[in-house]
A and B are shown apart, each in its own frame.
Chain A
């Protein structure tokens, strides 16, 4: 009888464990603004040109609000340096809109990569990036 009880409990335990499914989660949403003068994909521009990049970020779960927004930049594959970082609060936790203007400087062929990252309260991270090359 005792063996039956112990065996049943063990089987029940293992069944419980094996019944769990992996949850890969819902990352916060982030995308480039399109249309108008917004740059939303890799491109080449002349040195000294002004560019405008727009970002829309949005929470994807009811309470899992956006926590932080970050913009980093790297030139020619170098280190990513944060050039803008913002703790999001209030309504920004639900959705956040951001426009970034830059004037490209540098030598012909230089590549500048912009990475826009949003993090939610659960620590889940999503990002988008684009690379702008200086025309010859």
Chain B
């Protein structure tokens, strides 16, 4: 069955994406955002939201979607190579960061550090990134922030759009190929997009090959949208199949080098993820002027792992059914009410010989009220909200995990929770915007933390969970100040995050048949830090940007939390050499200056400072209804050998990627449909 999927995707591997010629879209005050309680201008919400146009980032030589997000200050990537990466917002990742796809929660069994996000930027038009918790709207897990992935939108009425692109990376001798087409007939529209990734092993800054770091992926996306009177419906299908070569501590004792650019992923340790998602977003305008949003979807996520045995050993399937209702009503000229309800049902089943979490079913529901008040119209906006919810978890007998001889038996757990939000957005003039919010987030311990009872593959530690773990709760103070004029923009966003019952994995003095035993524990923790951006723009076709992010993350016992991002300073310069209605030629250079990270958790490895130089250019030409773009980007130009602090490879002495030259060619076209009479 899996093979047929691969063949299907392989033979239809054409792919598209749209292009604009800005390097990194950055317009803080002029965006309408949709991740908040309602669609509204960015400055009118007290949330700290960064909208990122995916089109503008395609030229940055990224390998994954998470790679792109790290261009935003305060966002990093926890990596196990180039392909297995998960986003980190202000030091939080996994189940502490909520990912929304088509308006619904995305769960890729991210409870384990080596389970990546597994999503590509293929077919996305925009990402809205919220820093800080938004628990009242989305229930559990929205603690560190939200990453809302927004699919490409329909074209103009009676218009078709298509594109195709190819991106090649010198370091991995691989790349991305994609194509797509979308058309809007007026009352209905559709799109289809297919793509593939394929990368051989990467080389580090010492020109050493990192054996088995290869990965590939196959993607299919489709959309059917229609409009009936007061009802707008967008229905999405997404299918993907990814394979990631997997590296752990003793892999090189049994994996032998093959041909340098070999891409085989069926011999050595590999993680495989098959993902299928059907979702429906519906917006209904009601007669009394209120709006009703109904999102529903089904996700099938199958994770398979070959840890070196030559066959699939871990094989888990997670089926998720969920819906979200949002009713928005204008109470008066100044006051708007939003009532939302979210519910999900998840079923986790083990099909493989190796099991680390038990078979389980989980159900979650959340209901919230939110009131927006324009105390002074479009100048002073107060937001208040409260939500309550519950999560119910039931685990079932699973051989070797929770059987009669095991420490942890099958259990049921009912975990009620609550969240509150209050925020203020002040817009004293068109140039200033100040935001302040205090928000809570909550997380019910995941299956691994509650019920794991076995060896962690690769690192060979014996990990024991506890069904008695309390809810993890945080309360976060977020501030955001923005000043924006024609030639200058500045933004500062300090935060303080207090954690209660933070769950972490702690070493013990116990051992299990010679393996060290680790247990999941809880204690309070604090995080604080700030991001800063300075942008000098539209000055003789030049834009200079300086971004900074730094934070501290400590547990109540004074120890630092693991994988705390090092301080990062990123100056960049963009210059448009040629810019008219037909052609555009621009160049860019940027530097990432990363400080040493010595604030480490027990048993964690400190990492030294380093800096990377990146340089690139882009040429775009419009001809009739077509746009052609050629871009070249060289990341780590000086081929520096370095360890990123959030790379899990640092434990194995494996360096991050060396110099990579990325070349992208794309073609985009528009067609105007003939009017029917």
Report A's interface with B, CB cutoff 8 A. 2, 5-6, 9-10, 13, 16-17, 19-26, 61-65, 67-70, 72, 82, 85-86, 89, 93, 115, 117, 119-125, 127
Does the CB pair A72–B313 fall under 8 Å? Answer: no
**In the complex, what distance in Å separates the CA atom of A86 from the CA atom of B513?**
10
Specify the chain A residue showing the minimal Cβ separation from B352. Answer: A23
**In the complex, what distance in Å separates the CA atom of A89 from the CA atom of B354?**
21
Within the complex, the shortest CB–CB distance from A86 to chain B, in Å, comes to: 8
* Residues A124 and B353 in contact in the complex (CB < 8 Å), given A62-B310, A63-B309: yes
- Tell me if B298 is interfacial: C-beta within 8 Å of chain A: yes
**In the complex, what distance in Å separates the CA atom of A89 from the CA atom of B249?**
14
* Residues A25 and B278 in contact in the complex (CB < 8 Å), given A68-B514, A121-B309, A122-B307: no
- Tell me if B515 is interfacial: C-beta within 8 Å of chain A: yes
* Residues A125 and B278 in contact in the complex (CB < 8 Å), given A61-B309, A89-B253, A120-B309: no
Binding site of A, secondary structure by majority: helix, strand, loop or mixed?
Answer: mixed
Within the complex, the shortest CB–CB distance from B513 to chain A, in Å, comes to: 4
Residues of chain A within 8 A (CB-CB) of B314 are 122
Interface contact tally, CB-CB below 8 A = 109
* Residues A67 and B460 in contact in the complex (CB < 8 Å), given A23-B315, A61-B310, A127-B513: yes
**In the complex, what distance in Å separates the CA atom of A35 from the CA atom of B414?**
55
- Cβ contacts B612-654/A at 8 Å (1 or 0 each): 0000000000000000000000000000000000000000000
Q: How many residues of B contact A (CB 8 A)?
A: 39
**In the complex, what distance in Å separates the CA atom of A89 from the CA atom of B253?**
8
Does the CB pair A122–B513 fall under 8 Å? Answer: no
**In the complex, what distance in Å separates the CA atom of A127 from the CA atom of B405?**
13
Does the CB pair A82–B513 fall under 8 Å? Answer: yes
8 additional A-B pairs beyond A22-B350, A115-B513, A122-B307, beta carbons within 8 Å, are: A13-B300, A21-B351, A23-B353, A25-B352, A72-B513, A119-B455, A123-B454, A123-B456
**In the complex, what distance in Å separates the CA atom of A6 from the CA atom of B607?**
50
**In the complex, what distance in Å separates the CA atom of A68 from the CA atom of B511?**
13
Within the complex, the shortest CB–CB distance from A66 to chain B, in Å, comes to: 11
Restricting to B159-188, which residues have a CB under 8 Å from any CB of A?
Answer: none
Residues of chain A within 8 A (CB-CB) of B235 are 2, 6
Question: Could you show 28 A-B contacts with beta carbons less than 8 Å apart?
Answer: A9-B237, A9-B278, A13-B298, A16-B300, A22-B350, A22-B351, A23-B351, A25-B313, A61-B309, A61-B310, A62-B309, A63-B308, A63-B309, A64-B308, A64-B310, A64-B313, A65-B254, A68-B460, A72-B513, A85-B513, A86-B514, A119-B455, A122-B313, A123-B456, A123-B457, A123-B460, A124-B353, A124-B400
Does the CB pair A68–B317 fall under 8 Å? Answer: no
Does the CB pair B309–A122 fall under 8 Å? Answer: yes
Residues of chain A within 8 A (CB-CB) of B311 are 61, 64
Within the complex, the shortest CB–CB distance from A54 to chain B, in Å, comes to: 19
Report B's interface with A, CB cutoff 8 A. 1, 224, 235, 237, 253-254, 276, 278, 298, 300, 302, 307-315, 317, 319, 350-354, 356, 399-400, 454-457, 460, 511, 513-515
Residues of chain B within 8 A (CB-CB) of A115 are 513
Within the complex, the shortest CB–CB distance from B310 to chain A, in Å, comes to: 4
Residues of chain B within 8 A (CB-CB) of A63 are 254, 308-310
Does the CB pair A124–B354 fall under 8 Å? Answer: yes
**In the complex, what distance in Å separates the CA atom of A136 from the CA atom of B314?**
50
Residues of chain A within 8 A (CB-CB) of B400 are 124-125
Residues of chain B within 8 A (CB-CB) of A6 are 235, 237, 278
Within the complex, the shortest CB–CB distance from B665 to chain A, in Å, comes to: 33
Within the complex, the shortest CB–CB distance from A74 to chain B, in Å, comes to: 12
The 7 closest A-B CB pairs, nearest first, are A25-B353, A64-B309, A85-B514, A63-B310, A123-B455, A70-B514, A70-B513
Residues of chain B within 8 A (CB-CB) of A123 are 307, 313, 354, 356, 454-457, 460
Residues of chain B within 8 A (CB-CB) of A120 are 309
Specify the chain B residue showing the minimal Cβ separation from A72. Answer: B513
Does the CB pair B354–A25 fall under 8 Å? Answer: yes
Does the CB pair B308–A122 fall under 8 Å? Answer: yes
Within the complex, the shortest CB–CB distance from A108 to chain B, in Å, comes to: 30
* Residues A117 and B354 in contact in the complex (CB < 8 Å), given A63-B254, A64-B308, A122-B457: no
**In the complex, what distance in Å separates the CA atom of A6 from the CA atom of B234?**
13
Residues of chain B within 8 A (CB-CB) of A85 are 513-514
- Pick from A26, A72, A86, A117: contact of B353, CB below 8 A: A26
**In the complex, what distance in Å separates the CA atom of A117 from the CA atom of B315?**
24
